[in-house]
């Protein structure tokens, strides 16, 4: 029987048809982004043509036909002269079709090397035996004369290409230009191939964002401010911006991205969801050109769909990074720093994209290190990035400059101005060398909207109880509420956080520092460290100017560290001490935005920080990963986020809702539900859960407080925890003195 040269079971697609689809995606990409730096377009096209030719081998063809026969076809299998051999990955065989002699007339030796390795390694497969590979290559020679494809003229196959695939580019001393070219050819080959195989657009044009953002200004009756003008004038540069809260950083970032491919990153999913909605609803950027990308993307998209369904075409374009504007978490983008197999796709995409990093100071020290290494790689390959933040520790610039010595970073500062063109003053601060107490808090009871922020859940619950016992009406918000209860509380605090609302007291933890757009009248807060303090202050007089001498921020720094909850366990003790000293130095005062920025410069200087655990963590992580050898780390073993929490269901919640919870789980495990309904079921189920530290879970388990564990699917198990839980206080421990437990770790 003749070889049908099949590539896919879907639509019985042939190698030629599949390659034509790749070339169509290639031309689309080239038309949209013709000026990708460091990319040899002809070399990428050649890789597209050769990448799947190895599929004409007998074993692959028979495998496809067997699957088609199972579906009702009646193909006669090809004679297999190597029946005892294992199948060789088709990419490894495709390299045999590359005509090195002919291509050397067009390409340099390095470019031919790039072509071989991009084709050979375009899928992540275990290496094949050269002996087996050569036998199958010999067998394929019988079919090349009947493979009539105008894009390539195959006259011979070669078995002698071992020197072209080993050593791999990047693993020894290749020139950076060669490494960059390889990353682009290999990464974009993967991107184009996945788009062709999944029948999704490889790239969607971004041709309205700039105009839509300017239209937003026009509708509001205002013009771009100084920050926004600056970003419009520096679209081809890296930018580091330190700007006041409420100055319009989001719009500035969108103008900088303009009609280019862009990624807008934020630390928190709730903030990402809010920006996504704002870009679509306020900026009026088309949903078809705007992506939402984080670990709960499917659930969030279903919530926003009128029919409560998942638009698979839209979702697949999001996953393939095809959308022109993607609003996402950093960990969805920068895991390429680990250089695992397939890392090239994301880095190649960022080569022709603009990356925005918002609120960098909120990341953990190891995430800051990964980000700095990612920005180094993006710079080397030709991409652009802008960091926009309200507070920027100068050590971040020091680390970044050390990794990118050929670019001079000069942070620009922008302050929000009042109607008289003067910087807005929002905060009058008093510092107390004592523990936070309810006697001070209730001073403004009944007359102002009071926000209390402390460092740990335990402390928040204590203050809440003390206020309640004193007869005061009070609300509590922290991370130890179920998602359902927390969502309801967030809705209420958002309403109470409006300037027009009634007097109220809310006791909270650091979860309100950046995730909620609230504007209270007065803040009572424990000190954590300066950047966190200034984030907290941003929840008071957020969009208002302080026009008198009224104190609206009360900061408790303690006489000794034990006066303040979470120091050492939740808050870095070294940075706490540095922050405390600077606050005591300035004393009670009006604190301008410029003052805050200057304090951050002092506390987070290299001189002050170099002996802290925080600084050493960044430094050590950069040292470990800055020269990560390509392809030695496993993707499944490497995580950007060091997540040390456990998802649990309080026992009383499970008992009250057992019938519904069991029904949801049965639907996920055994029901024949559509994928969108399974997502809905899981999202509903997760509403009954909350997270606790793994150390807390281990102690609960050890002391017999985990009566059962619910199996959701083969990979997901949710323990039931028998701790007290109420909608007023959240999860509470039975006995704080259980073995090995430290309540100070109950932060957020």
Listed range (169-178, 403-412, 434-443, 696-705) with the worst mean pLDDT? 169-178
One domain for residues 578 and 664: no
| Torsion, CA 221, CA 223, CA 226, CA 230, rounded to 10 | 140
Task: Say if residue 338 is in the same domain as residue 266.
Answer: yes
Q: Is the pLDDT of residue 37 over 50?
A: yes
The number of angstroms, rounded, from the C-alpha of 385 to the middle of its chain's C-alpha atoms is 15
**Does residue 721 fall inside a structural domain?**
yes
Count of domains for the chain:
4
Instruction: Let me know whether 549 and 667 are in one domain.
Output: no
Domain presence at residue 105: yes
- Same domain for 24 and 127, yes or no, is yes
Q: Which two tokens stand for residue 361?
A: 């100071």
Does a structural domain hold residue 248? Answer: yes
For the residues 177-196, what does the mean pLDDT come to?
Answer: 97
Give the pLDDT of residue 129. 83
User: Across the chain, what does the average pLDDT equal?
Assistant: 93
Are residues 566 and 433 part of one domain?
yes
Of 42-56, 61-75, 507-521, the one with minimum mean pLDDT is: 507-521
Nearest C-alpha neighbor of 472 from the set 441, 451, 496: 441
Each residue's pLDDT tens digit, 368-417 = 999 999 999 999 999 999 999 999 999 999 999 999 999 999 999 999 98
- What span, in angstroms and rounded, lies between the C-alpha atoms of 513 and 534? 9
Q: What's the rounded Cα separation, in Å, for the pair 722 and 229?
A: 56
Q: Which of 181-185, 482-486, 674-678, 679-683 has the lowest mean pLDDT?
A: 674-678
Which of the listed residues 379, 414, 449 is the one where a domain comes to its end? Answer: 414
596 lies in a domain?
no
**Ramachandran angles phi, psi of 422, nearest 5°:** -110, 150
**Residue length, the chain?**
748
What would the pLDDT profile of 673-709 be if each residue is shown by its tens digit?
888 899 999 999 999 999 999 999 999 999 999 999 9
Q: Is residue 605 part of a domain?
A: no
HEC profile of 249-272: HHHHHHHHHCCCEEEEECCCHHHH
The position carrying tokens 């809440």 is 464
Within-domain flag for 624: no
Report which DSSP code applies to 747: B
Residue 546, domain CATH? 3.40.50.300
Integer Cα distance of 440 and 434 in angstroms: 11
Flag whether pLDDT at 363 surpasses 80: yes
The band of 741, judged by pLDDT with boundaries at 50, 70 and 90, is: very low
Q: Which of 141-145, 209-213, 478-482 has the lowest mean pLDDT?
A: 141-145
Helix then strand count (H, E) for the chain reads 31, 20
pLDDT greater than 70 at residue 102: yes
What's the pTM? 0.93
Which pLDDT score is estimated for 598? Answer: 95
Select the more confidently predicted residue: 355 or 175. 355
**Are 122 and 169 found together in one domain?**
yes
Whether residue 546 is found in the same domain as residue 649 = no
Alpha helices by DSSP H, listed for 320-425, are 344-350, 365-381, 394-403
Rounded to whole angstroms, the Cα distance separating 33 from 203 reads 9
Cβ(88)–Cβ(140) below 8 Å: no
Contact present, 676 and 308 (Cβ < 8 Å): yes
Q: Are 123 and 171 in a shared domain?
A: yes
Going from the C-alpha of 517 to that of each of 195, 280, 491, the distances in angstroms are 38, 18, 11
**pLDDT tens digits, 251-289:** 999 999 999 999 999 998 989 999 999 999 999 999 999
pLDDT at 747 over 50: no
Q: Are strands 730-732 and 724-726 parallel, antiparallel or unpaired?
A: antiparallel
Single out the residue in 372, 387, 414 at which a domain terminates.
Answer: 414
Give backbone dihedrals phi and psi of 278, rounded to 5 degrees, phi first: -65, -45
Provide the token pair at 285.
Answer: 């950027």
- Identify whether 319 is part of a domain: yes
432 shares its domain with 409? no
- Is there a domain that residue 194 lies in? yes
Mean pLDDT of 584-600: 95
- Looking at the fold, whether 110 and 153 belong to one and the same domain comes out as yes
Q: Decide: residue 310, CB within 10 A, 0-12 exposed, 13-18 middle, 19+ buried.
A: buried
pLDDT score at 734: 64
Residue of 431, 427, 423 lying closest to 590 (CA atoms): 427
C-alpha span between 104 and 109 (Å, rounded): 7
pLDDT at 643 over 70: no
Residues 434 and 390 in one domain: no
Q: Which of 152, 167, 198 is the last residue of a domain?
A: 198
pLDDT of residue 736: 52
The more confident residue out of 476 and 501 is 476
Q: Are residues 194 and 240 in the same domain?
A: no
Q: Residue 260 sits in which domain range? A: 209-414
């Amino acid at each position: 029987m003749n070889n049908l040269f099949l590539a896919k079971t879907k639509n019985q697609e042939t190698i030629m048809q599949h390659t034509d689809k790749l070339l169509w995606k290639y031309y689309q990409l080239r038309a949209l982004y013709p000026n990708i730096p460091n990319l040899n377009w002809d070399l990428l096209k050649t890789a597209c043509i050769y990448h799947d030719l190895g599929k004409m081998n007998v074993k692959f063809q028979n495998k496809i036909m067997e699957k088609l026969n199972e579906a009702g076809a009646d193909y006669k299998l090809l004679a297999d002269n190597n029946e005892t051999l294992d199948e060789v990955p088709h990419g490894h065989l495709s390299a045999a079709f590359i005509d090195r002699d002919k291509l050397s007339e067009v390409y340099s030796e390095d470019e031919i090397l790039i072509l071989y390795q991009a084709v050979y390694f375009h899928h992540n497969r275990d290496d094949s035996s050269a002996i087996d590979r050569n036998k199958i290559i010999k067998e394929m020679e019988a079919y090349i004369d009947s493979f009539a494809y105008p894009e390539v003229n195959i006259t011979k196959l070669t078995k002698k290409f071992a020197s072209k695939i080993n050593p791999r580019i990047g693993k020894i001393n290749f020139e950076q230009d060669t490494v960059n070219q390889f990353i682009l050819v290999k990464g974009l080959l993967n991107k184009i191939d996945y788009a062709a195989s999944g029948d999704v657009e490889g790239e969607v044009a971004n041709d309205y964002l700039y105009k839509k953002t300017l239209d937003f200004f026009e509708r509001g009756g205002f013009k771009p401010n100084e920050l926004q003008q600056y970003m419009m004038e520096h679209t081809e540069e890296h930018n580091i911006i330190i700007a006041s809260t409420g100055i319009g950083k989001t719009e500035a970032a969108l103008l900088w991205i303009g009609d280019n491919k862009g990624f807008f990153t934020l630390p928190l999913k709730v903030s990402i969801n809010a920006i996504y909605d704002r870009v679509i609803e306020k900026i009026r950027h088309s949903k078809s050109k705007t992506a939402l990308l984080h670990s709960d993307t499917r659930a969030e998209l279903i919530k926003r769909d009128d029919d409560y369904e998942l638009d698979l075409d839209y979702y697949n374009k999001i996953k393939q990074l095809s959308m022109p504007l993607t609003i996402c978490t950093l960990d969805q983008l920068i895991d390429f720093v680990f250089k695992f197999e397939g890392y090239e796709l994301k880095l190649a995409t960022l080569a022709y994209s603009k990356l925005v990093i918002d609120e960098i100071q909120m990341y953990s020290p190891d995430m800051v290190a990964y980000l700095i290494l990612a920005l180094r790689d993006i710079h080397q390959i030709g991409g652009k990035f802008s960091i926009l933040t309200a507070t920027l520790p100068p050590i971040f610039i020091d680390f970044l400059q050390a990794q990118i010595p050929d670019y001079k970073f000069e942070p620009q500062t922008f302050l929000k101005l009042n109607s008289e063109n003067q910087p807005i003053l929002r905060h009058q601060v008093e510092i107390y060398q004592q523990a936070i107490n309810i006697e001070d808090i209730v001073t403004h009871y009944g007359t102002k909207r009071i926000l209390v922020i402390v460092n740990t859940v335990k402390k928040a619950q204590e203050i809440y109880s003390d206020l309640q016992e004193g007869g005061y009406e009070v609300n509590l918000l922290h991370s130890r509420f179920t998602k359902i209860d927390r969502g309801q509380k967030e809705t209420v605090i958002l309403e109470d956080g409006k300037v027009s609302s009634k007097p109220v007291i809310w006791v909270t933890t650091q979860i309100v520092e950046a995730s909620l757009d609230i504007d209270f009248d007065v803040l009572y807060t424990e000190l954590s460290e300066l950047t966190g303090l200034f984030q907290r202050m941003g929840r008071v007089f957020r969009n208002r100017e302080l026009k008198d001498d009224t104190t609206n921020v009360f900061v408790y720094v303690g006489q000794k560290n034990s006066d303040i909850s979470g120091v050492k366990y939740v808050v870095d003790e070294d940075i706490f001490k540095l922050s405390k000293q600077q606050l005591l130095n300035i004393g009670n005062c009006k604190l301008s935005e410029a003052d805050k920025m200057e304090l951050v410069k002092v506390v987070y200087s290299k001189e002050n920080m170099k002996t802290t655990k925080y600084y050493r963590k960044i430094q050590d992580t950069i040292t470990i990963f800055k020269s990560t050898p390509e392809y030695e780390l496993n993707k499944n073993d490497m995580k950007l986020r060091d997540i040390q929490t456990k998802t649990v269901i309080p026992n009383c919640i499970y008992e009250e809702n057992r019938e519904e919870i069991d029904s949801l789980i049965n639907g996920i495990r055994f029901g024949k539900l559509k994928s969108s309904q399974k997502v809905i079921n899981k999202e509903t189920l997760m509403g009954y859960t909350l997270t606790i530290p793994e150390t807390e879970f281990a102690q609960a388990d050890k002391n017999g407080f985990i009566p059962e564990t619910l199996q959701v699917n083969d990979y997901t198990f949710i323990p039931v925890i028998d701790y007290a839980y109420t909608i007023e206080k959240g999860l509470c421990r039975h006995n704080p003195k259980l073995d090995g437990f430290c309540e100070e770790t109950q932060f957020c």
